Amino acid sequence: MTYRYTLEPYKGPSSRHTCPACGTPRNFVRYIDTYTNAYLADDIGRCNRETSCGYHQKPSSLRSIADYAAPRVIRSKPKVLQAVTQQPSEMPLSAFYESLNAYGNNNLVRYLNSVLGTQRANDVVRQYCIGTNHHWDCGTVFWRFDTCGRLLSGKVMLYYPHTGKRVKEPYNHVTWMHKLLGIDNYRLQHCFFGEHLLNKNSRSPIAIVESEKTALIAGALMPQYLWMATGGLSNLSPDGCKLFSNREVVLYPDLGAYDTWAERARYIPNCTVSKVLEENATNAERRMGLDIADYMLLSQKSKAKSWVGKKTASSYVCKQTSIE
């Protein structure tokens, strides 16, 4: 039995697209027609951010049982025109500087103050270039500079000040600064949150997580590592990790994401993947969707999770085979 329509297999960053629902780049997997090897409509596909977004639009014709058993016809692939390489767009620095204020009206900063203390919170907010935005009252901007110093994007999100959890009702509160500023035809290029710190810190091992908030908390509590965030489950790619050549890299996947990141880590030199959450989390903690930063905060309060409180990450990781 051959399916006529299927999700496009992963062939690198170019095979992942911007989600039409949440707007996250390189997170959307499109459906292809196996008869013609052509894409279906732009909005037909699945967002890899299953928990945060959950968008999945299937081809309407899959409702026809005949398509499930349609005979496979081998046809030549259509000629693909060579893409012209375009430089990524850059955000105006004025927007960045204008956001570096009003932290008393920034819900995430208020939460960081409550769990880290004012001094550590201020230090990490300054280090990671956190801004304030009022598209939603008390919103947060996660600015992203690449290693060349280019301001590539600003991701805007809203949090609850007392829990630090994201506001997802009545809808997922996440957008991008270039949309809020009305910049047309913006060429959004992904880079790691915290990538700009690579030039300032050339020796520390690198620890990568999914959430920007997690990188902030971990960076404050375990500063011997340079913490960075992908901003999405599927934003970890071998091409993006070429920046880390000759550096030790430790990945801290969220609960349920270990297999996905472990598979990609096989193609990243000097990379190890932590199994600390998968091996130690209780069923209740899995349902709560806790991440490594949550455990660090729990350890800071009660020492109940002694496996998190250790000062090195060597006990957290499981070696993966690196394929050059």
**Domains delineated in the chain:** 5-68 (no CATH), 88-191 (no CATH), 193-324 (3.40.1360.10)
DSSP code per residue over 177-235 = HHHHTT-TT-------BTGGGGTT-SSSPEEEES-HHHHHHHHHH-TTSEEEE-SSTT-
CA distance 303 to 312: 16
CA distance 219 to 252: 13
Half-sphere exposure of 225 (CA within 13 A, CB side): 24
pLDDT, tens only, 170-209: 999 999 999 999 999 999 998 999 999 999 888 899 999 9
Strand 206-209 relative to strand 226-229: parallel, antiparallel, unpaired? parallel
Helix (H), strand (E) at residue 97: helix 93-98
Helix (H), strand (E) at residue 107: helix 107-116
Helix (H), strand (E) at residue 155: strand 151-157
pLDDT, tens only, 258-307: 998 999 888 888 899 999 888 888 888 888 888 899 989 988 766 444 44
